Each structure stands twice: as structure tokens, then as C-alpha cells.
Structure 1
Amino acid sequence: MEKRFVDYAQYHALVDKVLANVQQANFHPDVVVGVARGGLMLADGLSRGLPSPMAVVMASSYREGSGTQQGQLRISSSVASLSPLQGRVLVADDLVDSGRTLAALLQHLRVAHPGITEVRSAVIWHKHSATFQPDFFAETLDHDLWIVQPFEVRDFR
């Protein structure tokens, strides 16, 4: 599979683009939830730029084939947060591939945290073929490629 390496300058410009999209939509989340691992840097940037507190959830469906093939979704049993998840929530992840993971995670959060009144999603990359449309994103990918984010280079030496 083709790989696209993104450096820190490119990455921060993409985070700023997502942040601008959220601000232009006049969405003011009560908390930004970062999906570990790939969504943590985006969540941090959004949390600082909006400003809103940040929480963290673990969710993964990419464990097969050395982490390159989608398998069964696993979601952490708790969310790391200083206060209960409630109100307006913005879930940040790195990319929407098929869309199944993020759609299932949003549904899980709504059920597990009934105080949530609105949940939206933000990603850096959105694959054109995805079945789920995130609310905010920086780029649409027209073909299948593997993004190597600047903090993932140890995985691809």
C-alpha cells in the first residue's frame, strides 16, 4: 500500500484547518475527546484552540496484519476525564477509513454517557469511500493510502 509521510509542519497546518472548520461552524464543545492513539494530537490542538477540556478514550479495530487490517472494534471500558462526559462533545481521531470505528464509538459514547446532549466528530483525513461522514475534517483522500503521521515514524522504520 502506498504510504504518505506527513511532517510536523504539515500536520500542524492540517490541525489548524480542522480547528478553523469547527470555529466557522460556531460549535463550542464542552469537552474534546481524543481517540488514542492517532487522535490525541488533534484532540490536544482542538482542546487548546477552542478552548475546551480534553478527555481520552481508547478505541481500536486495527490490530490484524501488524496493525494495517481492520478487525473487531474494541473500546476502553472508561474515559479518562476530569469530569463526567456531558453536554456538547467533540470526538477527535486521525482519520475515517471505512467509518465503522468512529460511527460505533460515537454510538457507544451516547449510550455510556447519557449526559451527552450533542456529539460531533473531527478528523484530519476522511477517505472518500467511507460510509461515515465526519462533521469536521481537513482533507478527503480520493484513493487508498496509508498516512504516516510525524509521531508514528518509529512504526515505519
Structure 2
Amino acid sequence: MSDLYVSWAEYHSQIEKLAIQIDQSQWEFDQILCLARGGLRVGDVLSRLFDKPLAILSTSSYGGKDFQERGNLKIASNITMTTDTLGGRILLVDDLVDSGVTLMNILEWLKQHSEFQVSEVRSAVLWFKACSVAKPDYYVDFLDDNPWIHQPFEKYEKLKPQNLL
């Protein structure tokens, strides 16, 4: 397994490529549900580009040294959104599909919450790793060597506010 280092410019370019792909598919969706933390920036930009409401569901499965140890998936009990409910056709957004466990579990979680009135879900990520057990509907890069992806915002995971002085 190699490492992939992504700059801010490359990161934003990936989001733009994903937006083009989604747009060219001509699939109409009603809302974006992003998985925070990794999908938060992606969801924000797509929400602005497509002018669609953004809903946020916090999830967590990585921790340990440099946040590179996969643990049990934790899913928040509530979705944060500015609409009355989550419903219709949903674009589920994250930064990447690594093992695919998060994507599979969130799709199942949405099915179990019938109060949301979701009619269709499609998933979109920047990176899709070959080791994943789930395939996203939209992705920019397929990574057959399953690299660890170092995203530009990760530097803040090792900093404290006093380090910024």
C-alpha cells in the first residue's frame, strides 16, 4: 500500500470533477446528505454548485495514531438539516470509500429510518479504493493499490491552537 498526498488545489479539482460527473449523469436529486467529517467539505461545495439543501450526518470509524486505525463505526443519532425532513432523491456524499463499511451501513441506516421518506439514494465520493466491498455510484478516481490518502486538512489533526502562533 502506497501513500497518496493531496494538495488543496488537487482536492478542490477532485470535487469539481465529481460535480461534472454528477451533472453529466443528468440524475436529478433533491438533497445532499454528507457524512462528516470527511464528506463535509465535499458536500458543502456540491451543495453550493447544485443549489441543493445540505444535510449532515456525523460518522466516525477512524482513530488511534494519526487517525489511521479503523474501529467500530459510530453514527450520530440525528441528521442536521435546514429542511423539515430528509426525503426524495438523496445524493449521499463522502470523501472516499475505503473498506465500504461506512457506505453500506449508512445505506442500511437510511432504510431503517422510514420517517425520512427517502425514495432513492446515490453515492458520490472522490476516491474509490479497490479493497472496498461497496461501489459508489459516482467517483473520480479508482485506486487499485489502496493507498492511504493524506488530505490537505489532516495537518489540523496534529495541531493545537497554540501551535498556530
Whether these two folds match at TM > 0.5 is: yes
Pair 1:60 & 2:60 matched: yes
1:64 to partner: Cα distance:
4.5
Contact 2:130-2:146 within 8 A present in 1 as well: no
Residue type at the aligned position of 1:131: V
Alpha carbons 1:59, 1:105 under 8 Å: kept: no
Find the counterpart in structure 2 of residue 108 from structure 1. 109
> After alignment, is 49-58 or 141-150 more displaced?
141-150
Letter in 2 for 1:79: I
Q: Structure 2 stretches of 5 or more lacking a match?
A: 160-165
Deviation at 1:65, TM superposition (A): 4.8
Could you say what secondary structure the match of 2:136 adopts?
Answer: coil
Is the contact between residue 18 and residue 136 of structure 1 (CA under 8 Å) also seen in structure 2? Answer: yes
In structure 1, runs of 5+ residues without a counterpart are none
Aligned-pair CA distance for 1:45? 1.4
Separation of aligned partners in 2, 1:44 and 1:129: 27
- Of all paired residues, the percent bearing the same amino acid is 38
SS in 1 for 2:45: helix
Paired positions, count: 157
For residues 29 and 48 of structure 1, what CA distance do their matches in structure 2 show?
Answer: 14
Other structure's SS at 1:9 match: helix
Q: Equivalent residue of 1:57, what SS? A: strand
Cα shift at 1:66: 4.9
Q: TM-score, normalised by structure 1?
A: 0.92
- Residue pairs, 1:1-157, within 5 angstroms: 2-83=2-83, 84-112=85-113, 113-155=115-157
Once superposed, what is the RMSD of the aligned Cα atoms? 1.7
1:97-126 Cα deviation digits (max 9, x unpaired) = 110111111210222144000011110000
